[in-house]
């Protein structure tokens, strides 16, 4: 069991920012839109978007469902978000 950092998609943070801004939501509103009030907060969204923290898989799944896209779209750097 090494202590190496887990691989994170390079484009993930920009995709998360793009989703929120395309929906015209603040970071606090994004928490509500994801249905995660009380589980995560605005500061968590900020950390996800700055690449300081990787969102847990269930949170990524909520992002994907919010925009009606497969989870793969968020985590595959070769894929673009749908229009």
Question: What's residue 8's pLDDT?
Answer: 84
Residues counted in the chain? 83
| 67 phi, psi to nearest 5 deg | -100, 0
Q: What are the structure tokens assigned to 67, written together?
A: 């925009």
Q: What's this model's pTM, rounded to 2 decimal places?
A: 0.91
Q: Residue 2 above 70 pLDDT?
A: no
| 21 phi, psi to nearest 5 deg | -70, -35
Q: What are the structure tokens assigned to 83, written together?
A: 């229009």
Question: What are the pLDDT digits (tens) for 7-51?
Answer: 889 999 999 999 999 999 999 999 999 999 999 999 999 999 999
Q: How far is CA 25 from the centre of its chain?
A: 13
User: Domain ranges in the chain?
Assistant: 12-75
CATH code for the structural domain at 12-75: 1.10.260.40
């Amino acid at each position: 069991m090494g202590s190496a950092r887990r691989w994170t998609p390079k484009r993930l943070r920009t995709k998360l920012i793009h989703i929120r801004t395309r929906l015209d939501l603040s970071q606090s509103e994004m928490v509500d839109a994801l249905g995660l009030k009380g589980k995560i907060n605005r500061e968590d969204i900020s950390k996800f978007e700055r690449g300081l923290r990787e969102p847990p898989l269930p949170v990524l799944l909520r992002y994907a469902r919010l925009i009606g896209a497969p989870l793969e779209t968020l985590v595959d750097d070769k894929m673009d978000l749908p229009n």
